[in-house]
Amino acid sequence: MSEGPLEGKVVAVVGGGRGVGRAHALACARAGAAGVLVNDLGCDVRGRGADPGVAAEVARQIEAELGVPAEADAEDVGARGGPERIVAHAVSRFGRLDALIGCAGLVADATVLKLDEDDLRRMLDVVVLGAFGLVRAGARAMIDGGEGGAILLHTGPVGFFGAARQAALAASSAAVVGLVRSAAVELRKHRVRVNALAPTARTRTTEELPLFRTIAPGSMGPELVGPVGAFLVSPRAADVSGEVVGVAGTRIYALHGRETPGWFGDGEPPSFAAIERAWAELTRS
């Protein structure tokens, strides 16, 4: 392949067998990566079952069509020790790890009152604990490599705004945002960048959402997200860390938390009446 923005870099994509993850793996290979580890358990949308052929097929495609060395991995990122084994596999196969993309996800669509506890725990294991494990293991490998690197996690706009029947995903997504903001500060001195991507894309986990019932089939595909992820883990984004970047079709934007100017009392504990009177002012943007 001709030289690209990821020339000489080894990238691991967790959840890289389908949808947005597959798009990331292909985009990184097209950007000239020296090696791509494609991890995917090959489970169903609720995290059940396993099929190692899912990751293997993407790895074969990368090697056959793009000429980039690729390795398949079917480890469960939500299992205890899973993130560490994924990172170790990448380092063992390619000798280093420069970029890590974590985008494994699943579905737990139910109201708060009806959400199955097993589905919730599986969501937290994969999206939250898996993300923590990837940051720790990935950062350690990058620090040991002596050149730092880039970690890109996945969250969703729902983590900022919430949505009906999406409390599990919203809570998990918000946790990832907090992790990214904090890890970016802590790991800056080690030259490890940490960002998050919040894609809105039609995949097998999202296609039943009301949003996509009103949008033409074939639109807002994951292929529109892949290049953004490849950019964020490349040296072209060397000064970008602690950001949450949204992608919705051809729109790319940043998601920022904010606080209102607020209301100041008179120095005494506020009364219920004072809070009530000030409510419109303290919530005004």
The answer to which of 25-34, 64-73, 235-244, 256-265 has the lowest mean pLDDT is 256-265
DSSP for residue 128: I
269 and 162 fall within a common domain = no
Would residue 160 count as lying in a domain?
yes
β-strands 70-73, 99-102 pairing: unpaired
Residue 132, SS3? helix
Cβ pair 11, 33 in contact under 8 A: yes
Phi, psi for 248 (deg, rounded to 5)? -135, 100
Cβ pair 100, 180 in contact under 8 A: no
The answer to which of 28-42, 66-80, 137-151, 198-212 has the lowest mean pLDDT is 198-212
71 and 172 fall within a common domain = yes
- Residue 220 — very low, low, confident or very high, per pLDDT cuts 50/70/90? confident
Measured between alpha carbons, how far is residue 220 from residues 189, 202, 217, 250 in Å? 37, 6, 9, 8
Would residue 4 count as lying in a domain?
no
Would residue 42 count as lying in a domain?
yes
pLDDT of 217 above 80: no
pLDDT value at residue 206: 66
pLDDT value at residue 1: 44
249 and 277 fall within a common domain = no
73 and 213 fall within a common domain = yes
Q: Tell me the pLDDT tens digit for each residue of 228-250.
A: 999 999 999 999 999 999 999 99
CA distance 60 to 29: 12
pLDDT value at residue 212: 65
110 and 247 fall within a common domain = yes
- Residue 219 — very low, low, confident or very high, per pLDDT cuts 50/70/90? confident
23 and 158 fall within a common domain = yes
189 and 116 fall within a common domain = yes
281 and 245 fall within a common domain = no
For 9-43, b/e burial (b = at least 16 CB within 10 A) is bbbbbbbbbbbbbbbbbbbbbbbbbbbbbbbbbbb
Number of separate domains in the chain: 2
pLDDT of 25 above 80: yes
Percent of the chain's residues with pLDDT above 70:
94
188 and 274 fall within a common domain = no
- Residue 205 — very low, low, confident or very high, per pLDDT cuts 50/70/90? low
DSSP for residue 270: P
pLDDT value at residue 96: 98
81 and 30 fall within a common domain = yes
Would residue 230 count as lying in a domain?
yes
151 and 272 fall within a common domain = no
The answer to which of 2-6, 132-136, 258-262 has the lowest mean pLDDT is 2-6
CA distance 135 to 185: 13
Q: Across the chain, what does the average pLDDT equal? A: 94
DSSP H or E segment with residue 90: helix 82-94
207 and 282 fall within a common domain = no
Read off the CATH number of the domain in which 194 is found: 3.40.50.720
Query: In which domain, by residue range, is 38 found?
Result: 10-254
pLDDT of 2 above 60: no
Would residue 102 count as lying in a domain?
yes
pLDDT value at residue 193: 98
